[in-house]
Amino acid sequence: MHGTLPYTTEIRPDTGLTNPKLGIWLFLASEVMLFGSLFSSYALLRSAAAAWPDQSAVLSVPLATLNTIILITSSATMVLSLVGIRAQRFDRFRLHMGLTLALGAAFLVVKVFEYADKFAHGLVPATDNFLGLYFTMTGVHALHVLIGMVVNAYLLWPGARMWRTEPQRFTNRVEVAGIYWHFVDVVWIFLFPVLYLL
Amino acid sequence: MFFKYLFSTDHKVIGLLYGFTSLFFLLVGFVLVIVIRWQLAYPGEPVPGVGALFGDANAPGGIILPEFYNQLGAMHGTIMVFLGVVPLAVGAFGNYLIPLQIGAPDMAFPRLNLASYWFYFAGGVVMLASFFVPGGAANNGWTSYAPLSDLAPGHGQTMWLVGMLLIIFSSLLGALNFITTIVQLRAPGMTWFRLPFFVWAQFITAFLLLLAFPALQAAAILQGMDRVAGTSFFLPSGLAVAGQPLEVAGGGNALLWQHLFWFLGHPEVYVLILPAMGIAAEIITNNTRKPLWGYRIMVYSLFVLGFLSFVVWAHHMFLTGMGTVISAFFQATTMIISIPSVVILSSLILSLYGGSIRFTTPMLFALAFLPMFGIGGLTGLPLGLATTDIPLHDTNYVVGHFHYLVAPGTIFALFAGIYHWFPRLTGRMLNDWLGRIHFVGSLICMNVIFMPMFVQGLAGVNRRLWDGGAEYVHAQEVLYLNVPMSVAAFALGFFQLFFVLNLFMSLRGGRPVEPNPWHATTIEWRTEHEPVRIYRDPYDYSVPGAPTDFVPQHHAEPQRV
């Protein structure tokens, strides 16, 4: 039945889109509203707070900088994996997608160390609203990284069979996964200054 | 064979799954309110028959405890809105009809569509299960205002949050699927302004679901953190419970919850109304045998409604003391948003003018929708202005207002839709006489239930009162209304039996009909399965010179005589 659905792989001429591409952009629009609501809550709570801790003194800016570099690099490797698959070079796709996956894992490992360090110092979500927001917002973001990694791992291993049967559709899937991954990256680009630097 | 239907990715099957499930939840929500109405009319008297089933923790000796009453109220609202009306209007009607009306083979993402249904189902199960955990279901009103909801004991409120997250996720998947389907899968020739109005209404609705729901997602996550991890996002400093200062960090903002909730909540109102307008428009043109009056203006109005619905939310919050400047802004936007609603309603009324109206059962429901929605809308005007809202807001007046919009408004349109499209589903008509009894009974009962609420509200009777106002002096003069209102609610239940009976009897025993029994122009009625090409506007009724009084959209130019 899915084979009969038009525009799953080919572009509809009058809209210039494939279904999955429109779908992922709509999904990201709702994600913008989700993170937008969280950022708005942060702004409202902080602006109304009687006292707000010095954020960069509570959190580790070096670790967050490291994580920023990791995530931006992973976006670059994600692009390279798409370039590879478009050039019909499955080996390059596999290399760069593998790197993306590894960098995503590295990001989460750093995050775990950061969290563990906070807990070890008795800094928990209940401590104050800044830490509450820090754990909530980075937690929701980390969940998104994790979901992205699951998608990437799927494309790397079980989903890669599609490359042999429907190469164009597989390429589109890599592109769509990339759009999501870049979005998760962009969210972090906002989280980093707002939570660590401001 | 059973699994074939439960896990089918066919949009018609998923639409039916949504339909059955949401009708079940409408019934659950209705049963809850029947118990509420008993308590309001006869406070402190044991609920006859079923009272013993609630258990001693909720209703010792069958007498409803205030805590249990609060559960009933909160869950009635939640179930009716999020598990009943929206899934029926959007999930069932949208899934079934959109691909058929635009000539698409299926939804754009069939498996996502199935996932969306199962997330909704899981959310419903969590909500129902919450009645059986210690402490019972959520009892902080369907709006779950903080800090009350933050501090509510037991697990009911936490389960409410989990259930909402599942339902929201389901809506998001459904919404992006609907939009993609409408943008990408329109049949050749189905240009934007040849879309049936119903499809336009669902299109705008999907955007509201997609962009408004995430605010409640964020709010539910934050409240979940407050409840589980001990944060104080919604807990201001210096809060004391039962004389003891609360041991939390504080510094939170209770209004933040309301802002996030109503940022969803107001677009949600239009999620409830727009599909109903779409259904009413389809049925009214079909039964007046005339093109829809002002089709384009109506579509533009939908856009204005959709956009403005994101900037009116705080008119639910005039009572919170958020300040006159903010109130002034939101009452201005609220007055503006009434214009497109009036444009759509007026266009529907003008569509009747000069038509030779067929008073079929679906048409009766659609016609009743117009004045009922009108009453709901007009009684909303004083609530949109801060000065008049403040004395009315926490009274039964508000309950009457939004129930007129949703119950004899939206639900009547949904009934109209069921009567109208039942032959498309089954090839059989629903029984006309049972339908008419259902209609007349429901119309009378609905008005007897909700009209006195305005009287009580203007007299100052507070809503959410466990005893219906019996302990207040100012309520005494209008207290007698509670009994006829409740009797009408029970009678409303009785008249729904005709509908249920009709539904089951007509499945096998209904009068068999030809494929396009209403002689409609929209293409969901065509019988051919091959891909379709569209040649004409959606409502080519009574085209001069055409051989019949309807020319379906997929017919090329009719032979001029």
Of A18, A27, A48, the CB nearest to B176: A27
Contact between chains at B256 and A7 (C-beta distance less than 8 A): no
Asked if A30 reaches chain B (Cβ–Cβ under 8 Å), the answer is yes
Asked if A29 reaches chain B (Cβ–Cβ under 8 Å), the answer is yes
Q: Which of A2-6, B4-8, B166-170 has the lowest mean pLDDT?
A: A2-6
Beta bridge partners of B395: B462
Q: What is the pLDDT of residue B454?
A: 98
- Contact list, A17 vs chain B (CB under 8 Å): 183-184
Q: By residue range, what is the domain housing residue A122?
A: 59-197
Q: Is A18 inside a domain boundary? A: no
Cβ proximity of A41 and A49 under 8 Å: no
Mutation choice for A interface testing from B231, B248, B309 by most A CBs within 10 A: B231
B464 vs B300, more confident: B300
- Contact list, B214 vs chain A (CB under 8 Å): 30-31, 33-34, 36-37
Mutation choice for A interface testing from B168, B176, B177, B263 by most A CBs within 10 A: B176
Please state the domain count of chain A.
1
Tell me whether the omega of the peptide bond preceding residue A13 falls within 30 degrees of 0, making it cis.
no
- Contact list, A41 vs chain B (CB under 8 Å): 218, 222, 233, 256, 260
Of A17, A128, A136, the CB nearest to B249: A128
Identify the closest residue of chain B to A11 by CA–CA distance. B184
Cβ proximity of B214 and B168 under 8 Å: yes
- Contact list, A44 vs chain B (CB under 8 Å): 253, 256, 259
* Residue B5 banded pLDDT, cuts 50, 70, 90: confident
Identify the closest residue of chain A to B310 by CA–CA distance. A33
Q: What percentage of residues in chain B have a pLDDT greater than 90?
A: 93
* Residue B371 banded pLDDT, cuts 50, 70, 90: very high
| ipTM of this complex prediction, to 2 decimal places | 0.97
CATH number of residue A151's parent domain? 1.20.120.80
Q: Is A156 inside a domain boundary? A: yes
Cβ proximity of B385 and B336 under 8 Å: no
Q: What is the pLDDT of residue B529?
A: 80
- Contact list, A147 vs chain B (CB under 8 Å): none
Report the gap between the CA of B7 and the closest CA in chain A (Å). Answer: 14
Radius of gyration of chain B (CA): 24
Q: Is A119 inside a domain boundary? A: yes
pLDDT digits 0-9 by tens, A96-151: 999 999 999 999 999 999 999 999 999 999 999 999 999 999 999 999 999 999 99
The three-state secondary structure class of B107 is coil
Phi/psi for B462 (5° steps) reads -65, 150
Q: What predicted TM-score, i.e. pTM, was given to this entire model? A: 0.97
Mean pLDDT, rounded, for A173-194: 98
CB-based contacts of B479: which residues, under 8 Å, 6+ apart?
Answer: B468, B469, B470
* Residue A2 banded pLDDT, cuts 50, 70, 90: very low
Mean pLDDT, rounded, for A37-44: 97
Domains of chain B: 14-233+252-525 (1.20.210.10)
Q: Is A192 inside a domain boundary? A: yes
Asked if A28 reaches chain B (Cβ–Cβ under 8 Å), the answer is no
Contact between chains at B105 and A5 (C-beta distance less than 8 A): yes
Q: Is A97 inside a domain boundary? A: yes
pLDDT digits 0-9 by tens, A46-69: 999 999 999 999 999 999 999 999
Distance of alpha carbon B390 from the chain centroid = 26
Interface of B to A at Cβ within 8 Å reads 9-10, 105-106, 108-110, 112, 172, 175-177, 179-180, 183-185, 210-215, 217-219, 221-222, 225, 229-233, 237, 248-249, 251-253, 256, 259-260, 263
Identify the closest residue of chain A to B254 by CA–CA distance. A45
Mean pLDDT, rounded, for B78-103: 97
Amino acid B558 reads P
Tell me which residue of B18, B174, B197 sits closest to B108, measured CA to CA. B174
Q: Is A43 inside a domain boundary? A: no
- Supply the mean pLDDT for chain B: 95
Phi/psi for B245 (5° steps) reads -65, 140
How far apart CA A29 and CA B173 sit, in angstroms, is 12
Q: Is A118 inside a domain boundary? A: yes
Q: Is A184 inside a domain boundary? A: yes
Q: What is the pLDDT of residue B402?
A: 97
CB-based contacts of B494: which residues, under 8 Å, 6+ apart?
Answer: B441
Contact between chains at B256 and A45 (C-beta distance less than 8 A): yes
